[in-house]
Amino acid sequence: MGIPITVAAMALASFAGLQYAGAQAGDGNGVDIGSTVEPKLVLTAAQRSAIYQAVSTDKSKAAPIQFPAVVGGDVPPMIQLYALPDDAVSDNPAAKLYEFTVVQDEVVLVDPTKMRVIDIIGPPPKQ
């Protein structure tokens, strides 16, 4: 008699685990990292250009070591991050929560609490 109860308990536990895993999945409104969904930073083309122009020329903000900067990727803990200039993010308060570094002529926006890349801003296209 113990076997049917064990099988039923395992099936129930398995089903509950699937329901829990499904509850963790992102709904398309953010980036699913682990078990939390984080809001995406949405920047207009003008905001991206303003941020790039404001910070890309300061070579002291370049990362001392190169790392593969990809959205969602980890930033090495030894990389120093810098606050975005107020004038470049004044019309987007959410952007003030993020910091940046420069890697290979690209501005890498980082969530400083998780040390993850949230956006990469390259130079504007040549006209």
- Answer whether residue 59 shows pLDDT above 90: no
**Which pLDDT value is given to residue 88?**
84
Q: In the numeric block, which tokens belong to residue 63? A: 């990362």
CB neighbour class for 88 (10 Å; exposed up to 12, middle 13-18, buried from 19): buried
100 DSSP β-pair partners = 82, 109
Q: What pTM was computed for the model?
A: 0.67
Q: In the structure, what pLDDT confidence band is assigned to residue 57 with cuts at 50, 70 and 90?
A: confident
**Which pLDDT value is given to residue 33?**
45
Q: In the structure, what pLDDT confidence band is assigned to residue 72 with cuts at 50, 70 and 90?
A: very high
48 Cβ contact list (under 8 Å, min separation 6):
121
Provide the phi-psi class of 115: left if phi over 0, else alpha when psi is between -120 and 50, else beta: left
CATH of domain 41-121: 3.10.450
Domain ranges of the chain: 2-29, 41-121
